Amino acid sequence: FIGKMALIVIPQRKAMGKAKKEEEAVFLRKKITLLRAFSLLVGSMVGSGIFISPKGVLKHSGNVGVSLIVWFACGILSLFGALCYAELGTRITKSGGHYIYVLETLGPLPSFLYLWAEYFAIRPANSAVISLAFGNYILEPFFAPCAAPLPAVKLVALLGHKILIQILNSFSLNSQVVSWSARLQNVLSVIKLLALTLIIVPGMMLLAQGHTENFQDAFSSQSLALDKLPLAFYAGMFAYSGWYVQSGSFNEWQNNPLAVIVSVVAVIVGYMLTNVSYYTVLTAEDVLASQAVAVVTFQRLVSVIPILVALSCFGTMNGGIFTFSRTLFVASREGQWPPLFSMIHIRRHTPLPAVMLMLPLVTAMVCVGDIYHLLNFFSFSRWLFIGLATLGLIIHRYRHPELPRPFKVPLFIPLSFTVICLFAVGMSFCSDPVYVSIGCAMVLSGFPVYFLMISRPIPDCCRTTFCEYKFVKRDNLKHNVALGSTQDS
């Protein structure tokens, strides 16, 4: 009797569960708690930057002392920016992060230009830089003391990026990729902190033993390059980039400020100790000559450090893919991006087209680009629009004083952050006019696209033709499905 009842009840439960599942709305899930928000922020900040930016910061600042000041200043500036974004995230609760902040505060034109630059310049170039760092650290131990061949580095970089995409797609077949990706980010964040610990602890031990010879004459003016400081700012802020990861994905507004403050402060302390460890072991000339600073610094741990650094880059790529796909998803829902990017899988609840269509651009950037040239290329657009977003925060305060303010920063924080960002962006034209001008041209190329495709309404004849075509196709599809069902029966 019990067996027969079980046979009867179980199908009913399955049917009820199936019916309930079918009635659920398909939407992009918000499943990021405080711990996962902290993990996502740290995982996005601590990545390839701390392992490749020391060379760029030192090269463009001129000496060890100024480079350490630049690292600390970039950390404080990142904290200011994180606090501004925390307020933006509590005032503007719509999902979409940076894109929504610009859209709600400055209007549709700046938001579209940001989206245009993000898709065609910032995101693919950033992913290419991280992928190239991944390739460098994977191959460096096999070719030391010589440099790894550039074609081999590019090949490994492309393989690493595509393997990550494949893993995300494969695991999402059985579970929602939002939850899986967040869990993966927790693990990779621990690995990144372990990599930093293995660099910091030996360096601090050597420093405690009195190895301070590399800090002698740290502020030498012979190699000081003030005109290149904006590029040092770009390299330093690239290492901290990740604090502006989409705050609208957090479950509760209280998690937003707490997560960004704790994350940025922890990364500032870790980065300062890491750079001191670098300079304790290596001279300035050694840092400038190395393509993989962490490997050269601790050759005794060469079997461990490259693996941990590669996994660190892997985690940064995972965080970038996870967050930027949401931006494209929201932009398509706002009518400023092709509707294809708003499509999400009915079981995975993720915008897979937004992820897959980024692959050709990343591949092209990796094939033709260099780490530091790509860094200067996309940093112009990135910090231009980040500065505009914090400017929009100031404007939004005065336009909408009636809105609730669960979290508010003093006015001097967004004001100083905006001025510094826009000043650095303007001065970078003098520091690297070629690649910065290319980045500026990418932004300007979005103007005709906006006025021709977004701001102007579609002509009635085109809209009628499109609608008729759509309905005819849909009716034909229904007819074919009904005909097939009749033939099967």
Cα dihedral sign for 361, 106, 237, 272? negative
Q: State mean pLDDT over 458-470.
A: 46
Distance CA 402, CA 130 (A): 43
In sequence order, the 6+-apart residues with CB closer than 8 A to the CB of 211 are 280, 281
pLDDT at position 328:
77
The crossing angle, in degrees rounded to 10, of helices 229-240 and 371-399 is 80
Statement: residue 270 has pLDDT above 60: yes
Statement: residue 423 has pLDDT above 90: yes
Statement: residue 12 has pLDDT above 80: no
Q: What confidence tens digit (pLDDT) does each residue in 224-242 have?
A: 777 888 999 999 999 888 7
| One-letter identity of residue 277 | S
Give the pLDDT band (50/70/90) at residue 400: confident
Query: Which of the pair, 409 or 141, is modelled with greater confidence?
Result: 409
pLDDT at position 233:
92
Q: State mean pLDDT over 200-216.
A: 87
Q: What confidence tens digit (pLDDT) does each residue in 40-84 have?
A: 677 667 777 888 788 889 988 888 999 999 999 999 999 899 888
Q: What confidence tens digit (pLDDT) does each residue in 153-196 have?
A: 899 888 888 777 766 555 544 444 455 555 666 677 777 778 78
Look-up of token digits 């503007």: 92
pLDDT above 90 covers a percentage of the chain that reads 22
Q: Average per-residue pLDDT in the chain?
A: 76
Q: State mean pLDDT over 255-259.
A: 68
Q: State mean pLDDT over 303-307.
A: 70
Write out the DSSP string of 420-435.
HHHHHHHHHHHH-HHH
Q: What confidence tens digit (pLDDT) does each residue in 72-119 have?
A: 999 999 989 988 888 888 888 787 778 889 999 999 999 999 999 988
Give the pLDDT band (50/70/90) at residue 298: low
Write out the DSSP string of 59-125.
HHH-SHHHHHHHHHHHHHHHHHHHHHHHHHHHH--SS-THHHHHHHHH-HHHHHHHHHHIIIIIHHH
pLDDT at position 283:
84
Statement: residue 274 has pLDDT above 60: yes
In sequence order, the 6+-apart residues with CB closer than 8 A to the CB of 173 are 348
The pTM of this model reads: 0.79
pLDDT at position 331:
83
pLDDT at position 142:
79
